[in-house]
Amino acid sequence: MTTITISYPDKARRTAITQEPVWVRRTLISLALIFLALFLFVPLISVFYEALKKGVDVYFAAITEPDARAAIRLTLIAAAIAVPLNLIFGVAAAWAIAKFEFRGKNILTTLIDLPFSVSPIIAGLIYVLVFGLQGWLGPWLAEHDIKIIFAVPGIVLATVFVTVPFIARELIPLMQAQGTEEEEAAVILGASGWQTFWRITLPNIKWGLLYGVILCNARAMGEFGAVSVVSGHIRGQTNTLPLHVEILYNEYNYAAAFAVASLLALLALITLAIKTFVESKVTQQKTKE
Amino acid sequence: MSIEIRHLSKQFGTFAALRDVNLEIQSGELLALLGPSGSGKTTLLRVIAGLETADSGQVLFNNEDTTRQSIRDRQVGFVFQHYALFRNMTIFENVAFGLRVRPKDCRLKDAEIRERVTNLLQLVQLDWLADRYPHQLSGGQRQRIALARALAVEPKVLLLDEPFGALDAKVRKELRIWLRRLHDDMHITSVFVTHDQEEALEVSDRVVVMNEGRIEQIGTPDAVYEQPANPFVYEFLGHVNLFHGRIHRGRAIISDIEIEAPEHAEAENLAAIAYVRPHDIEIDRVTNGESALAAHIVHIVSIGPIVRLELAHDDSSNKNLVQVEISKDRFRELQLTKGDRVYIKPRRLELFPSHASANSIH
């Protein structure tokens, strides 16, 4: 859960009463910095260091060899399907939860959180149980020559599952805070449902939505557990980037493993940069009115 | 456009927001729906607009049933208490919105839209804010823009939900007068909801007093103020003093005083409550032979040309304070100070047999 909780710190009023003594502040700040350095900066730097240790040529060879390229392609495909699907689902679910009253609303809200509360391995296993050779639909699928488990569809399914909450969770509080008055005003002025959505609702949530998409995308590309269960680890076919890193590492091919890992790390850094930018926009949108 | 409301009822869970409401609104009228919170006035307004659907009953526009009409086809303008301006659009685009979302075949040309919006912004005297965004405007400005936006589509009915509720006292007063003038110029059938009795009495042609989902009284501001239909209306409209007494054969007896009450000629020693407005009480330092209530002054507040006195009965069994309003001239003439003993007598009072006040707001 904590991964997507965003805090919008109010500009805390610093009064003498809330002001801690100097030594307390310094200790707290240094503790935080030391922690960050040990657990974040050092590993991050070491990823790039190990990746480039044997030279730039080895690095580029590692990320351009066919299996790596296949893994990159598969990761991109999975994200390209999962993110739009969750975009539509997230907006629809958030819209329904924030703007309407209906039976089972609480259940829907809880279900959206399910992928957060359940271990990714379980998520993968669910699909194996349903679509696997020994699963419920397995014989039927085998008969019709449809492969889901140990194939691309399974990877996409698992990715969609683990990324379900990101966009909906981001939008629900935003839409709830904005209420329905603007939509009501638009409808009374003669706007149709689509016009209301495109001209009023969407512009009001666009930064929150983008923020959700970025987080969703980062998770879709980085997911390991669920995808690992359904993938089957077939090199060049069902390996995503994280799985490819694992295989290389297990083969003691450290330089290549770190090179590929550096791609994911780079993705994380880019995500972080965009996220910071979007976050400031979200805060702006919230403070308006 | 005239509006007729027939047997409207609406339930929210176990809460009855409207109970068999009937109301006729004349074309070109400015009507106030007045009542305490939870009285159903906003629900009634939203049902008229089509934002809520009633459980039963009908709303007729020009004798045509609107029950099956969609909100878009009703051609109403709606002004929200919290403005509901589109935050992602400039003021200009806010006002132009209703014109821009029309189907292509009946949409105005861009130049015409521009002209109409500019005119409307001039009408609300805010044309210089056209390029700003809603969050850059003050509350009073936003509400005027909300009104301009509602008027842009030339609605046949204008509905306003506590339009001045979120504004401070001074802006509120200004906007109130301004709305009245605007209505006098445009003569568009308008209904506005308020819980502020002063606002309702000052602005509207007729006032509908609502309580607990029912209409208590409909009438001109003077009528509802001067001849309240029941204790609820009396207590809700303005300050009021309560006296317990009896009615007996056309006379009201309140402790030591007796007052003619010809409309209760047939009453036989009936317990009653008398309502008296603070400005309908005579006050003097001496009794000129007539019966009067003895009291002493506990508090004096001077508000502009009026002085409000709070009096305690000399009879210590009656703990109710009496509020009296007199002119500053009269106050100076009597040279009243705190603690002075005075004699009071109601000039006009409204009597209700006690059982009738059982469901009043006390």
Asked if B78 and A289 come within 8 Å (Cβ–Cβ), the reply is no
The three-state secondary structure class of B298 is strand
Amino acid found at A26: R
Cβ-Cβ contacts under 8 Å, B82 against chain A: 181
Instruction: Report the run of H or E that residue B283 belongs to, with start and end.
Output: strand B281-284
Note the pLDDT of residue B258: 80
Mean pLDDT throughout A165-174?
90
Closest partner CB to B97 (pick from A181, A189, A204):
A189
Q: Is B49 on the interface with A (CB under 8 A)?
A: yes
Q: How many Cβ pairs within 8 Å bridge chains A and B? A: 64
Cβ contacts of B266 within 8 Å, gap of 6 or more: B249
Q: Looking at per-residue confidence, does A109 or A12 come out higher?
A: A109
The three-state secondary structure class of B344 is strand
Going from the C-alpha of A247 to that of each of A55, A201, A235, B269, the distances in angstroms are 21, 45, 9, 101
Q: Over the stretch A239-271, which tens digit does the pLDDT of each residue have?
A: 888 888 888 888 888 778 888 888 888 888 888
Nearest-Cα distance to chain B for A115, in Å, is 33
Going from the C-alpha of B38 to that of each of A190, B46, B229, the distances in angstroms are 29, 14, 20
Separation CA B198–CA B81 (nearest Å): 18
* Chain A residues with a Cβ under 8 Å from any Cβ in chain B: 181-182, 184-192, 195, 199-200, 203-204, 288-289
Amino acid found at A133: L
Cβ contacts of A66 within 8 Å, gap of 6 or more: A236
Nearest to A200 by CA among A224, A177, A220, A184: A184
Q: With a CB-CB cutoff of 8 Å, which residues 304-323 of chain B face chain A? A: none
Q: Is-contact B259 B346, C-beta < 8 A?
A: yes
Q: Is-contact B193 B162, C-beta < 8 A?
A: yes
Q: Estimate the crossing angle of helix A42-52 against helix A254-287, to 10 degrees.
A: 140
Asked if A185 and B71 come within 8 Å (Cβ–Cβ), the reply is no
| Secondary structure, 3-state, B198-226 | HHHHHHCCEEEEEECCEEEEEECHHHHHH
- Half-sphere exposure of residue B232: CA atoms within 13 angstroms, side-chain side: 18
To the nearest whole percent, how much of chain A has pLDDT over 90?
Answer: 14
| pLDDT of A286 above 80 | no
User: Average pLDDT of chain A?
Assistant: 83
Nearest to B94 by CA among B122, B128, B133, B56: B133
Mean pLDDT throughout B287-291?
75
Q: Is-contact B77 B151, C-beta < 8 A?
A: yes
Asked if A184 and B88 come within 8 Å (Cβ–Cβ), the reply is no
Closest partner CB to B72 (pick from A182, A187, A289):
A187
Closest partner CB to B153 (pick from A184, A190, A192):
A190
Interface mutation vs chain B, best among A174, A189, A197, most B CBs within 10 Å: A189
Q: Is-contact B273 B241, C-beta < 8 A?
A: no
Going from the C-alpha of A10 to that of each of A14, A286, B5, B33, the distances in angstroms are 11, 12, 48, 40
To the nearest whole percent, how much of chain A has pLDDT over 70?
Answer: 92
Asked if A181 and B80 come within 8 Å (Cβ–Cβ), the reply is yes
| pLDDT of A221 above 60 | yes
Amino acid found at B248: H
The three-state secondary structure class of B313 is strand
Asked if A288 and B87 come within 8 Å (Cβ–Cβ), the reply is yes
Interface mutation vs chain B, best among A178, A188, A199, A289, most B CBs within 10 Å: A188
| pLDDT of B358 above 50 | no
Cβ-Cβ contacts under 8 Å, A191 against chain B: 72, 97, 101
Note the pLDDT of residue B231: 86
Separation CA B153–CA A190 (nearest Å): 9
| pLDDT of A8 above 70 | no
> Could you tell me the pLDDT band of residue A87, with boundaries at 50, 70 and 90?
very high
Separation CA B180–CA A69 (nearest Å): 73
The three-state secondary structure class of B190 is strand
Say how far residue A118 (Cα) sits from the centre of its chain. 15
Q: Is B134 on the interface with A (CB under 8 A)?
A: yes
Asked if A188 and B87 come within 8 Å (Cβ–Cβ), the reply is no
Q: Is-contact B79 B161, C-beta < 8 A?
A: yes
Place of tokens 């296949």: A70
| pLDDT of A90 above 80 | yes
Nearest to A199 by CA among B9, B252, B98: B98
Q: Over the stretch B7-63, which tens digit does the pLDDT of each residue have?
A: 999 998 888 889 999 999 999 999 999 999 889 999 999 999 988 888 999 899 988
List the Cα angle B89/B94/B96 in 5-degree steps.
125
Q: Is B245 on the interface with A (CB under 8 A)?
A: no
Mean pLDDT throughout A2-14?
48
Tokens standing for B141? Answer: 């400005």
Could you give the ipTM of this predicted complex? 0.80
Cβ-Cβ contacts under 8 Å, B49 against chain A: 188
Nearest-Cα distance to chain A for B105, in Å, is 14
Amino acid found at A25: R
Q: Is B80 on the interface with A (CB under 8 A)?
A: yes
pTM of the model: 0.77
Nearest-Cα distance to chain B for A101, in Å, is 12
Separation CA B8–CA B55 (nearest Å): 8
